[in-house]
Amino acid sequence: MSIGVPRGHAQYACGDRGSSDGTPRSITVADFAWPDQKVAVFCDGWKHHHLEERQASDQAKRDAMRADGWTVMAFWGGEIVRDAHGCASRIAELLNK
């Protein structure tokens, strides 16, 4: 059964903070992205994302992306394992609006 998620880009450098010398810099790397629609998806594993400091860092990066016009979705690894179809359906619904 097809869920209807269009092909995206894996490990996509998103956003543009810019640097003091005007050189573009990415804000973060999304696990999957659809840059034409400015949609980014993060798949957060517990091992690397459960620490409070990491969560604060993740949130700051995602807030910066949102300020740059991106729509950001994040899923915990356990959520993906338990309900991959549901996660994919939510992504498809957003992308196919």
Query: Which pLDDT does position 94 carry in this prediction?
Result: 93
* Entry pTM: 0.80
Q: What is the rounded CA–CA span in Å between residue 40 and residue 33?
A: 4
Q: What is the rounded CA–CA span in Å between residue 28 and residue 74?
A: 13
Query: Which pLDDT does position 88 carry in this prediction?
Result: 93
**Per-chain mean pLDDT for the chain:** 84
Higher pLDDT, 90 or 4: 90
Which alpha helices (DSSP H) does the chain contain, by range?
46-49, 52-67, 77-82, 84-95
Which amino acid appears at position 20 of this protein? S
Which stretch of DSSP H or E encloses residue 73?
strand 71-76
pLDDT tens digit sequence for 35-79 = 999 999 999 776 665 767 777 888 888 888 899 899 999 998 888
